[in-house]
Structures are given as C-alpha cells and as structure tokens.
Amino acid sequence: MKKGLKKSLLATMVMSAAFSFGITAKASGATFKDVPSKHWAYNAIEQVANKKLVAGYQDGTFKPSGNVTRAEFATFLARTFDGDKRENETFDDVSDTHWAKDAVEEGIALGFIQPSDYKNNKFEPSKAMTRQEIAKWLANGLNAINPEYGEIASTIQEGKYTLLPIAEMYKGGLNKSEYGNVGLMLGTGLMSGFEDGSFKATGNTTRAEIATILIRFEEAKKKNPGTIKALNELVEVATTGTNMLSATKFEYKKEDPFTNIIGKPHSFTRNNSGAATIEKMIFVEGDTLQKALNSSVFAKMFVGKNTFFFEGNNNVIQVFTEMTFTSNREKLTIDDYSNGSTSTFISNVGIQDKLKVQNYGLTTLDADNWGSFLKKDKKVKYWTERINEYEVGRLDGHTTDDGTRFSYRRYK
C-alpha cells in the first residue's frame, strides 16, 4: 500500500473510531469538563492535549480515572516519536481497519512493543495495561532513543547487588526479569512507587497518570542518561553495593573500594560475641527530612518522620547498612553486641522510622526482640542505621578478618 493512501485510510479509520468509541481530539488550549483546574493532573493533561499526544472523548470528557488500554498507550507513545518507521508484522486481533493499527506497527518497528511478549499472536488491544507492562514499553522506548538507557537497564538487571527502593524488593511481587525496566523508571522519574512504598507492578494505570508519564518521557528523551543522578546511584549500588560516590562528597582511599569487604567476616574480637559481614551500604545526606529525601533515590526507603536529624549540621550523614551477624552466645545482650566490635561501621541501632520498616518489608534490629532475633549460630541479615559526622579529609573505614579494608574520606 502506498504511504499516502495508507495515511488517508488511517485518518478515515481514526475518524470512524471516534464515532464508534467516543474518542475525539480536543482543540489546542481546550479543557475537559471532567478535569477541573484543581485536578492533580490538570496541567499534564492540558499539555498532552495541546501537543496532541492524548485525545479526549466526543462528549468532551477525558476520563482521567479510566484505565489506559494497550491500543491507547501504543497510540500515545507512538505520537511522542512522530516517525515514519513501520513494521508490517501484525497481530491476529489488530485488523487493517483497527484504529490503532498504525501506532501498533510503529511501536513494533521502534521496539517498544515486542510481539514475542504476547501469546498466540494476540495483542488484546482493549486490555488495560499493567504498570509492569508500561514500564517495559517505556524502557524499550528510551532505548530506541539512546542505547545508553538500555545499557543502564541491563546493568541494574544483572547487578550482583541490585537494590530498588520499592517494597517488592523484600516483600516480593516483582519478577527479577523486570528489575532493569522498573529501575530505569525509578531512576528517570518516569514512574515511582506509591506512598506505601509499593510499585504495584500488576496494577493498572489511569489516563491521568499516563498524561504525567508522557510529559516526563518527553523530557527524558532530551537528557543524557549519564547525567541523571538517581540512575547513577542505582547503577553504582547494583555493581558495587553502595551509592557512596554518586550520592556524597566522599572518595575511596586508593585500592580500598567497598567491594573489598562485601560478605567477608569481621569478628567481634573484643569479647568474642560473634561475627558480622557487611552486604550493602546506603548513604543519605541532609540535615532535614526534606533535604534527605531530595538527596538520594534510596532515601524514601529508609528515612521518614521518625528519623533523627542534626538540623543545621551539614557534616552529618545518615548511613544505612545491610549486614549479617552470627552470634557465639546463647544469650546475646545489647552491650555484648555494642562493645564487641572495633569497627565504627557496626551499629546497634535499627531503622528508626518503623513505618518504613513495615512498608518496605525491612528486617532491622529491634530492642523489643533482641534476644530472640540474634540466636547462637544463626546467621541473620538485617539493616542498621547510624549517624556519622565527617570533616573534610578525615579517613574512615572497616577491616575484615583477612585484613581487607574499605577506606574513604570526604573531599569537599
């Protein structure tokens, strides 16, 4: 079919769909009668309507709370590319007269739609999209624009120490095969977790939410992924177990990186009460809650209203450490634990904001169940919290039993 004839036919199909399904484009600057100016997504909906990325319905509504379907999102996302690439491979249930056929073909050509993801060559265009599926399409779309996005997603996906600041990381509910896509969403800010910390991978997404996502996607297309701090943090943790370099003004002492000590035992030699290993370490700067939340993509996982801050002291930093401990004693007291180690990295303080512990499914030290938690010969993994004050140039570190050391200093 000739390109001009195909576009003409497409226009006819879209117009037909508008009458059949109530979908119609809004004029530039127009508002929708079901999206008042006080609606949380009002500005985003106005922007995508004016850019003709998203259409409303014939009755003048936008239906902001309605779930977005595969056919709709294929159309919306294709419009952000506005290209002429098409893949003639079709699904059995997307006929030549289907109003979204051209968009689906463009999505396949660009790679954000992958036919292999759909069984029996059925696209199910009217099916509501899950957040996991949307994350995958967006990740594929970013990769089509800049392959560096795809490399970052792969690094997060395959990382030995990958940590995502969502509840599903410890509670379950997200396939590991989706870590890269979801990590890319969290790092770019295209999608985020909910107030309870969950990503809700199998949940649906509303048209209002899609409007905000499309605006963010337009911005992400213009960025150099290597300059996005949150992505750098996610990659650093995935590959090294810590976000120290990307989130703070610290640097390693030569040849003493954090990876040196991961998983290696550090015995409590002062009283032979047990041995610990350090697995991950997350640094969060900020002397107030808001500054802390703005400083790191991981902050929302650990800090909250009950986190203690030394307000006015910018040299103080919160350090959250995931570690294991194996007790040598039948009854281990807090004093045994606190006084047994020579390392400043071993904290006897659990995560202070209990809502974060609950929402994110974190295991942490708790004074109320100390005795039953750290049992003799039982290896237990948990998170601790500590507050350190750092002067420029001061060296700090941790040494394991085999003499391996992790050393760093503040350079600014």
Give one DSSP letter per residue of 385-408, joined into a string.
EEEEE--BT-EEEEE-TTS-EEEE
Q: How many angstroms separate the CA atoms of 299 and 321, rounded?
A: 13
Tokens representing 114?
């992958």
- The helix/strand/coil state of 309 is coil
Q: Which of 301, 307, 308 minimizes the C-alpha distance to 282? A: 301
Sign (positive or negative) of CA dihedral 117, 123, 129, 134: positive
d(CA 326, CA 277): 9
- The tens-digit pLDDT sequence of the chain (412 residues) is 434 434 333 333 333 333 233 333 343 344 799 999 899 999 999 999 999 998 888 899 999 999 999 999 999 999 999 778 887 777 999 999 999 999 999 999 999 999 999 999 999 999 999 999 999 999 999 999 999 999 999 999 999 999 999 999 999 999 999 999 999 999 999 999 999 999 999 999 999 999 999 999 999 999 999 999 999 999 999 999 999 999 999 999 888 999 999 999 999 999 999 999 999 999 999 999 999 999 999 999 999 999 988 888 888 889 999 999 999 999 898 899 999 999 988 999 999 999 999 999 999 998 777 877 889 999 999 999 998 877 787 888 899 999 999 999 888 8
Contact 247, 395 (CB under 8 A): no
Instruction: Look up residue 178 and give its DSSP letter.
Output: G
Closest by alpha carbon to 383, among 315, 314, 316, 298? 298
Global pTM reads: 0.89
Token digits for 30? 């127009």
Structure-block tokens of residue 24: 């119609």
**How many other C-beta atoms are found inside a 10 Å radius of the C-beta of residue 197?**
22
The distance from CA 292 to its chain's CA centroid, rounded to whole angstroms, is 17
Helix axes 179-188, 147-158, angle to 10 degrees: 120
CB 389 within 8 A of CB 316: yes
The span from the CA of 136 to the CA of 138, in Å, is 5
Q: What is the DSSP letter of 227?
A: G
pLDDT score recorded for residue 389: 75
Instruction: Give me the residue label for tokens 């030549």.
Output: 96
Residue 11, pLDDT score: 37
Rounded-to-integer distance, Cα 340 and Cα 99, Å: 70
How remote is the C-alpha of 205 from its chain's centroid?
16
Structure tokens given for 246: 């990307």
DSSP 53: S
CA atoms within 13 A on the CB side of 401: 13
Q: What was the pLDDT predicted at 252? A: 93
